[in-house]
Structure 1
């Protein structure tokens, strides 16, 4: 109990969230394999988007980082290590480490490019005459989750930078004669309300998955959600304590899936069927095929399986493709339904 109370601010437990299974699955799969490319969550206001995203970050096990490093560097993985740590390694220096919670970084709507990418420390430049890099949010988010609420209202230029960093795992900054390249590998989560405008298709396509969430209509389920929230607000630590066992179980399943992922295989025949579905749906490019393969493997690992089967593909393919279909303004059919129809024909 004391360990629970040490948290600076109580976070609603992930396993206590009722409903919204699609959003929860998309987040879990991206945590198992960040190379899926993040998730875009579109839905009504007040449906628990922010609560769920903070809850998944709080659920994850702590990560080991190099002490006094500004980029949450890994102590042995070169792809997750800053140049400063690499130099220390090459010099044979002793590298002290400590454990931190998985970083959860919020990108505010009014953020500038300097705030996102990093800039020159003006105070040091004026006082000491030295040009020093001051890291931005992309540095803080390395090895964590970067959350952008109302991503459809964010400047397209910033969305481009975010997606480039998420895809490459690196952030390159050129400022006032300083050139810095640092690791920036994170799970990008965007959320928004469709009423406030859609993202441009070419930006939307670069999100690995797209979860649609709607307000729960079932009265008994709504009552359950309201009661769960009221219970947490009244006594957050009791609620956290109550869910601790389920939280630990889910955490262990995710950690096991992360270890198992590289050994999961997908049959060539199933790969062909995935590509056939993408072809019939006129999905532009190959990103849809790649993400579906990755997500199916992550889902198989999540269930502790060695090989992907048809049911795994069926479970994830709509999440991976629905936002990649060309929109016809006159079409009445929902894009998710359209994907399901083709999937049921090919994977019957």
Structure 2
């Protein structure tokens, strides 16, 4: 018997077959995914293109008034001009710079958080605080190398020494009874003194402070007798005669004190404590934003007035890119790790 063909309703005649449905579904999903990717790409592009659209935060690991603070505020003001947003400096002192580094490392990697680092100091602290939860190499992206800021050996005016030879003789004659100040346990200021004492073979009593701004008043008052500190922080008191400068710790003399010898020139062979500064961003900060920040730094450090102002405070401006900063970071860590081990210095 001949079976009549099955009739279709007008609605069902318009429906696709199962295979066609699958094809349409695939196409729809593909279009949706493509739209999502385009939307995401556009959003990232728009965010990067509009960066920065609010103030930036620059964390430093030392209190107001010291070399790191002076450099940060000088650079931050100029960077703000180039980025067309203000750069707010936030001081987080303590624990040899580890508190500030921790604050910087935990910040969001969105381009609005920066860490201006006394690099040599952090290289030392990384060895002295092995259980620290943050690390300058692991937890940060290098942005730009900034400057070298030499330290000076300052003594109270009552110290009977006007050069390194007389200073060494005075220390040896004092039989370990001399107090000296530092910016804090494990800081470069501390290690510079320890290295000198180790080299001379003499003891002294270490009195740590929370940065230059707290240490210098006691040095001026004669409660401690000497201290290694930045040119920037020391300079006003050297000018007034409240402190006497004996030598600089860097490998070369500083332009602002051309007649002041280096510690090595003054007779302590092999003594060199260059003090580098760098700008970092939290790990994961996008590369294009880091490039934008580096560009702003380069433009700032190319300004004659800014460079001359920093020079007068004891800094030698030395802009270089992120790769060079990473290399200096690795070099300083290796150098100071070997020094600490040889001198058997621990906290």
TM-score by length of 2: 0.23
TM-score by length of 1: 0.23
Greater Rg by CA = 2
